[in-house]
Amino acid sequence: DTEVTQTPKHLVMGMTNKKSLKCEQHMGHRAMYWYKQKAKKPPELMFVYSYEKLSINESVPSRFSPECPNSSLLNLHLHALQPEDSALYLCASSQAGQIDTQYFGPGTRLTVL
């Protein structure tokens, strides 16, 4: 099973709200990723977790706060977002190696009003 699940599928939030995105995989992967994809643009890496530790933060604003509670679960906490943060947020996972295929979830479509 090469499935990565993400919830919710769609999220609409105001600029003062706090919300969280959830990503889950049961493939035994030890690396997990968050990407942001704006309309008609390629995905851009935000964060990488390896063995539940944050290994890469691509200078993402602090209004985005990642969390990896265990090896199967990855969260992205959102607070005080801006309308320009509206995008498709994609989660991926892979074996924690340098040459491993990344498997993507279906994404969460976020709209910030």
Instruction: Provide the binding-site residues for other proteins, judged by CB under 8 A.
Output: 4, 6, 31, 41-45, 48, 50, 55-56, 88, 90, 92, 94, 97-107, 109
* Shortest distance (Å) from residue 80 CB to other proteins: 26
Q: How far apart are CA 72 and CA 9, in angstroms?
A: 19
- Which residue, 63 or 109, has its beta carbon nearer to other proteins? 109
Tokens of 28: 């035994």
Q: Within 10 Å of residue 90's Cβ, how many Cβ atoms?
A: 23
Beta partners for residue 112, in sequence order: 13
- Which residue, 7 or 15, has its beta carbon nearer to other proteins? 7
- Which residue, 12 or 15, has its beta carbon nearer to other proteins? 12
Q: In what order do the strands lie in the sheet with 4-7?
A: 4-7, 18-25, 73-79, 64-70
* Shortest distance (Å) from residue 82 CB to other proteins: 22
